[in-house]
Chain A
């Protein structure tokens, strides 16, 4: 499947596709809506501990199992982007994709056929000197003009990207906020270094609800994933822990399950976009595990359904709704698409 556009090394086997990048990768996003112009796009953010970092957009063809790079679809980013995300699927797909990146600011990019243009840089600090760097963000799928960002200054900011203005800002936690996830058009949850998962409702900004706190006080919770197919369930991971904690929002404080089969700390989690009880986790043990949550747990805990061993510690995991058969993982400088 060689063609004129430059291709990077890719390995193909029957069940996985690998893309090797010139630099270590961390942030990754899979486009949700392929249009007739291009195949599924994947944005890859580099992880270089220096100022100049890059984001590349490659395209994936599931039929030919190949990944193509496009030299024009690439842009610079100051310091590693902490998260990348494509515009959620909308009713009228436009010709170009919107990509959002977080780092010092929330930036919006338009990914066209052969180039990427910056659309907006969203900075909500009053004076130009200060910014509160963002650790993560989430794009509201029900209300796509809304993006929620979270930052190390303990706040979460909700942006209206149609007006490029701040919709609201909340002091969400006592310490740095590490991840945020939307549940509904006006409800989101966040995790923080203070060890709590809190749910916020934009209709009632006076109150938030703590639905889980790490058992060892002040153990930071690093990542959060909300099951979009079944909003009752959320998953979170703790710092230095090999457990994936599953929470039921109807029973706060008590986790529904703790999935403990990784041999080292867990780095990333993603719920299956097409079923309501499957979740995938990946960690430092180089393994990606797919779990099926049963109605009743056995006495020894829950075992995963299936597993995959990668070459080195897996840092990132994306399970996109547009491609429910493929899970994207990244480890060191490789990105792999695994068939599920």
Chain B
């Protein structure tokens, strides 16, 4: 853990410790030193940093008790380590990343922000640190999380981490950046204080003596309540004393305490630590601790809602900032598109998962168990001559059994949401190279679906059959058109397979029922086309017809045969009512064909006048009018 100096040059010695001290003194969330990069001229990159904000978990239980500053240092180190392992993992993907002490799930948002900052580089003059360096003046940014990304490129990151104030000032050829989750108004005194802290002499190491008492109050669940009480008891009187001496030890008013503290600190190093002095120091720590313990307990009691991987941070940015940011893209995050939706799915899933369940230990190869231990080094030699197909039963269950059913014909896929069937658009994560290809395929599939619903086929869903049936259907239509044109008579071009009662009209293609579309078990599905080409022409005998085309009720009479065709909205019993009505009209129906599609009942009744009474078509039509669909909704499409 040590001094944690980064080897990127231009980072002054012991800066980390000073930075740590400074950040803790002012009780801010983090401090970063941006240094001029040795590798790349003219850019600022991560030099060193200290994290002092909320943490979520404390993974390891320390064998040696550390005091707060060491814990803080260790945390910052661990975060740096995690960053490095993640960036290493990205460049050479492995099954698992090399284990760091921390893993992404353990971090709070603020820690994420800190970690992601490590990947940023700034041109001199660009970005908050860059500009600070050129102007040479401190920059104080309030409401950093709402700042324009041109002013503060990490503003969206800051938003997710609730960093509200960011301050930069030039220091020793680089830029010191400090950030905090509270809103702090501009205070030059603070900057001055931090600067002087940074220029101080060595950070005391003798504080180890007090570690046992201070313990770790960051993480409430690791510390016994008892310890905390002890802590309280010991320090309370001291605090009061101190209060009299120096009114407050709050962050904004360090000036008064500055010098005395320094001298105390020096004396501590020398081992001549009078109790008052040492307790002053401790108290300082204690107030820090208190502050942080309050924070951390808040933190821990939160439910963990945020998704826990790097991509989430990136994606939030992308999602919220469609124009794109002008910051250098963090190198360890892949570019992904459009998975805002997925992030919400992930967060709901992982919120409810029980990740900490540790089940009973597995016994291996116990005599009482059926399973024997695996012998290592046993590599599989493929059993090629197994005889028969692999996964025979599984394949049969999946591929063949479903097709065994008699009417194992897939119901027509209506595209879109007409009948409440949803077609989710598939988002691809991290498959950039195949995205456009996939989208193209999706579009093709959509078109094919539409085609399938237009073509009266009973075949399977696969593309080849759809295209085949379309070809067949088109040819049939072409043939009919030719015939019609040649005959010069507009014909009834219905494709329903129905029995035509008589050749009452000269229809050359009245066997249009025998169109080539397979078994014909399925009634005509082509809701759109059939009704539209429903043009009834009349040659002989009275055919009363109101409008052409797309009428909801037509009655044709030929001699004593009456043909009624109608469309009505389906409801229970409507068919029976219609038949009754027809009977009441003294028509003996001898053939009824009906189908219900989309709530519309298509009805064809062939009937005969009983008795001698002959009615006109208009009368019949009038009687049945009430059942038919109203003109307004003749086409449900």
Q: Which residues of A contact B (CB under 8 A)?
A: 14-16, 24, 26-27, 47, 49, 51, 78-80, 82, 103-104, 125-127, 129-135, 151-155, 166, 168-172, 174-176, 178, 183-184, 186-187, 196, 198-201, 204-211, 213, 222-223, 229-232, 239-240, 242, 249-254, 256-257, 260-268, 272, 274-276, 278, 284-285, 288-290, 292, 294-297, 303-308, 313, 315, 324, 338-340
Tell me whether A171 and B398 are in contact (CB under 8 A): no
Q: Which residue of A169, A254, A285 is within 8 Å of B422 (Cβ)?
A: A169
Tell me whether B393 and A313 are in contact (CB under 8 A): yes
Determine the residue in chain B with the shortest Cβ distance to A166.
B420
Interface of chain B: mostly helix, strand, loop or mixed: loop
Determine the residue in chain A with the shortest Cβ distance to B432.
A253
**How far apart are the CA atoms of A222 and B390 in the complex, in Å?**
13
- Whether a CB of chain A sits under 8 angstroms from the CB of B339 is yes
Q: Which 6 A-B pairs have the closest CB atoms?
A: A275-B359, A133-B402, A252-B429, A338-B370, A153-B410, A306-B371
Determine the residue in chain A with the shortest Cβ distance to B424.
A208
Tell me whether A284 and B424 are in contact (CB under 8 A): no
| Chain B 557-572 per-residue mask, 1 if CB under 8 angstroms from chain A, else 0 | 0000000000000000
- Whether a CB of chain A sits under 8 angstroms from the CB of B62 is no
Tell me whether A104 and B427 are in contact (CB under 8 A): no
Chain A neighbourhood of B364, CB < 8 A:
305-306
Q: Which residue of A14, A171, A272 is within 8 Å of B421 (Cβ)?
A: A171
Interface centre among A24, A130, A242 (most CB of B within 10 A): A130
User: Could you jot down 19 A-B contacts, CB within 8 Å?
Assistant: A15-B369, A104-B405, A133-B401, A133-B403, A171-B421, A187-B348, A204-B341, A207-B341, A207-B424, A207-B425, A209-B429, A213-B434, A232-B355, A240-B390, A250-B307, A274-B357, A276-B357, A307-B374, A340-B370
Tell me whether B359 and A304 are in contact (CB under 8 A): no
Q: Given A125-B411, A232-B350, A274-B359, does the pair A265, B391 have CB atoms closer than 8 Å?
A: yes
Q: Which residue of A49, A126, A229, A338 is within 8 Å of B419 (Cβ)?
A: A126
| Chain B 346-378 per-residue mask, 1 if CB under 8 angstroms from chain A, else 0 | 101110111101111010110111111110101
Closest Cβ–Cβ distance, residue B347 to chain A (whole Å): 11
Q: A80-B397, A103-B401 are in contact. List 16 more A-B contacts (CB 8 A).
A: A47-B393, A47-B396, A49-B401, A130-B409, A171-B422, A174-B441, A209-B341, A209-B429, A222-B394, A254-B430, A262-B380, A278-B362, A284-B391, A297-B95, A297-B96, A306-B373
**How far apart are the CA atoms of A172 and B442 in the complex, in Å?**
12
Tell me whether B346 and A206 are in contact (CB under 8 A): no
Q: Given A16-B370, A252-B430, does the pair A26, B342 have CB atoms closer than 8 Å?
A: no
Q: Given A184-B352, A267-B394, does the pair A305, B419 have CB atoms closer than 8 Å?
A: no
Chain B neighbourhood of A324, CB < 8 A:
359-360
**How far apart are the CA atoms of A129 and B208 in the complex, in Å?**
82
Q: Given A49-B396, A131-B407, A133-B405, does the pair A172, B424 have CB atoms closer than 8 Å?
A: yes
Q: Given A183-B349, A230-B353, A272-B359, does the pair A210, B428 have CB atoms closer than 8 Å?
A: yes
Q: Which residue of A168, A186, A260 is within 8 Å of B380 (Cβ)?
A: A260
Chain A neighbourhood of B380, CB < 8 A:
242, 260-263, 285
Chain A neighbourhood of B423, CB < 8 A:
170-171
Closest Cβ–Cβ distance, residue A125 to chain B (whole Å): 5
Q: Count of A-B contacts with CB under 8 A?
A: 295
Tell me whether B422 and A168 are in contact (CB under 8 A): yes
Chain A neighbourhood of B445, CB < 8 A:
174
Q: Which residue of B339, B372, B395 is within 8 Å of A239 (Cβ)?
A: B395
Chain A neighbourhood of B370, CB < 8 A:
15-16, 308, 338-340
**How far apart are the CA atoms of A151 and B434 in the complex, in Å?**
26
Tell me whether B422 and A206 are in contact (CB under 8 A): yes
Tell me whether B345 and A209 are in contact (CB under 8 A): yes
Q: Given A79-B401, A131-B408, A209-B429, does the pair A308, B372 have CB atoms closer than 8 Å?
A: yes
Tell me whether B342 and A209 are in contact (CB under 8 A): yes
**How far apart are the CA atoms of A276 and B350 in the complex, in Å?**
14
Q: Which residue of B372, B378, B401, B411 is within 8 Å of A153 (Cβ)?
A: B411
Tell me whether B349 and A249 are in contact (CB under 8 A): yes
Tell me whether A315 and B393 are in contact (CB under 8 A): yes
- 9-residue interface stretch from B114-122, B381-389, B489-497: B381-389
